Amino acid sequence: MNTDFILNRFLFLTISITCIFICIGSPHLITGEWSSIGGIVTADDTVNLDIIGIRMDIPSYVDAGTYFRIVDTVRNRGTQSTGFFSIGYVLQDETGSNPDFYLGNISIQNLVPGGQKSVNVSFPISMEIKSGSYKLRRVILLSDLIVSSKPDSFIPGNEKALYVNNGPEFFGLGYNEENFLTVENGEMLRLSSTIENLNETHSVETKLSYYLSKTGLITDDVIFFGESDFIQVKPSEKQTVETIFPVPSDIENSEYFIITSFIPLDLVSENSDVYWVSDESYSIAEREPVPTPVISIAPVEPTTSEPDIMTVKTDYPDVMYIGEGAKITDSVTNIGGSTAGIVRVEYLVATQDDGSDARHLGWWTIHNLKAGETRTSQETVGIPDSVRSGIYYLTKKITVTSNPPERNTANNYWTGNRPVRVEYNPAARIPDLTHVLTKFPCGEPGKDAEIIDTITNIGNGCAEHVTVAYYISPYADFDPSTARYLGIWEINKICVGEQLTNTITVTVPGDLMNGEYYWFSVIDPCSFMSYCGEELPELDKSNNVNIGQLVIGPCVFCEC
Task: Report d(CA 212, CA 221) in Å as an integer.
Answer: 9
The residue type found at 314 is T
- H/E element holding 45? helix 43-46
Task: Report d(CA 354, CA 334) in Å as an integer.
Answer: 24
| pLDDT band, residue 347 (cuts 50/70/90) | very high
Q: What are phi and psi of 498, to 5 degrees?
A: -80, 145
Are the C-beta atoms of 191 and 183 separated by less than 8 Å? yes
- pLDDT confidence of residue 298: 52
- pLDDT confidence of residue 484: 92
User: Any bridge partners for residue 485, and if so which?
Assistant: 471
- The candidate with the shortest Cα–Cα distance to 149, out of 291, 30, 294, 292, is 30
| pLDDT band, residue 5 (cuts 50/70/90) | very low
- pLDDT confidence of residue 204: 81
Sign of CA dihedral 63, 69, 71, 74: positive
- What's the average model confidence in pLDDT over 130-144? 79
DSSP state of 149: -
- pLDDT confidence of residue 450: 94
Q: What is the mean pLDDT of the chain?
A: 77
Percent of the chain topping pLDDT 70: 78
- pLDDT confidence of residue 467: 92
Whether the predicted pLDDT of 69 surpasses 50 = yes
Q: How many CB atoms lie within 10 A of CB 310?
A: 17
| pLDDT band, residue 316 (cuts 50/70/90) | very high
SS3 481: coil
Q: Own/partner pairs for 285-289, CB < 8 Å, 24+ apart?
A: 285/185, 285/247, 285/253, 286/247, 286/249, 286/250, 286/251, 286/252, 286/253, 287/187, 287/246, 287/247, 287/248, 287/249, 287/251, 289/249
| pLDDT band, residue 332 (cuts 50/70/90) | very high
User: Any bridge partners for residue 453, and if so which?
Assistant: 438, 502
Whether the predicted pLDDT of 297 surpasses 70 = no
- pLDDT confidence of residue 499: 92
The residue type found at 34 is W
- H/E element holding 7? helix 3-16
Q: What is the value of pTM for the model shown?
A: 0.46
Are the C-beta atoms of 281 and 257 separated by less than 8 Å? yes
Separation of CA 506 from chain center: 39
Q: How many CA atoms lie within 13 A of 252 on its CB side?
A: 9
| pLDDT band, residue 503 (cuts 50/70/90) | very high
- pLDDT confidence of residue 303: 62
Of 146-160, 263-277, 360-374, the range with the lowest mean pLDDT is 146-160
- pLDDT confidence of residue 424: 82
Task: Report d(CA 347, CA 363) in Å as an integer.
Answer: 6
| pLDDT band, residue 10 (cuts 50/70/90) | very low
In tens, the pLDDT along 473-489 reads: 999 888 888 899 999 99
- What's the average model confidence in pLDDT over 81-107? 82
Whether the predicted pLDDT of 178 surpasses 60 = no
Task: Report d(CA 194, CA 180) in Å as an integer.
Answer: 5
Residues 6+ apart with CB under 8 A from 237: 196, 197
- pLDDT confidence of residue 555: 66
Burial 443-467 (b: 16+ CB within 10 A, else e): beeeeebebebebbbebbbbbbebe
Task: Report d(CA 197, CA 409) in Å as an integer.
Answer: 59
The residue type found at 38 is G
- pLDDT confidence of residue 209: 84
Whether the predicted pLDDT of 239 surpasses 50 = yes
Of 14-23, 181-190, 451-460, the range with the lowest mean pLDDT is 14-23
DSSP-derived secondary structure for 357-408: T-EEEEEEEEEEE-TT-EEEEEEEEE--TTSPSEEEEEEEEEEEE-SSPP--
| pLDDT band, residue 220 (cuts 50/70/90) | confident
- What's the average model confidence in pLDDT over 96-110? 80
* Structural domains of the chain, ranges and CATH numbers in brackets: 3-165 (2.60.40.10), 173-284 (2.60.40.10), 309-423 (2.60.40.10), 433-552 (2.60.40.10)
Of 84-98, 183-197, 232-246, the range with the lowest mean pLDDT is 183-197
3-state secondary structure 398-433: EEEECCCCCCCCCCCEEECCCCEEEECCCCCCCCCE
| pLDDT band, residue 167 (cuts 50/70/90) | low
Residues 6+ apart with CB under 8 A from 304: 336, 337, 407, 408
Q: What are phi and psi of 235, to 5 degrees?
A: -55, 130
- What's the average model confidence in pLDDT over 212-238? 81
- pLDDT confidence of residue 185: 45
Of 36-50, 233-247, 516-530, the range with the lowest mean pLDDT is 36-50
Whether the predicted pLDDT of 511 surpasses 60 = yes
In tens, the pLDDT along 380-427 reads: 888 887 787 788 889 999 999 888 889 888 889 888 888 888 888 877
Of 8-12, 159-163, 393-397, the range with the lowest mean pLDDT is 8-12
Task: Report d(CA 7, CA 515) in Å as an integer.
Answer: 75
End-to-end alpha-carbon separation of the chain, Å?
72
Give the Å distances, CA to CA, from 316 to 321, 402, 419.
Answer: 13, 28, 10
Are the C-beta atoms of 350 and 413 separated by less than 8 Å? no
- pLDDT confidence of residue 40: 26
DSSP-derived secondary structure for 168-201: TTT--EEE-SSS------SSEEEEEEEEEE--SS
Q: How many CB atoms lie within 10 A of CB 45?
A: 8
Task: Report d(CA 182, CA 395) in Å as an integer.
Answer: 42
Beta strands in 184-307 (DSSP E): 188-197, 204-206, 209-213, 223-227, 231-233, 238-246, 254-261, 275-277, 282-284
Whether the predicted pLDDT of 12 surpasses 70 = no
- H/E element holding 74? strand 67-76
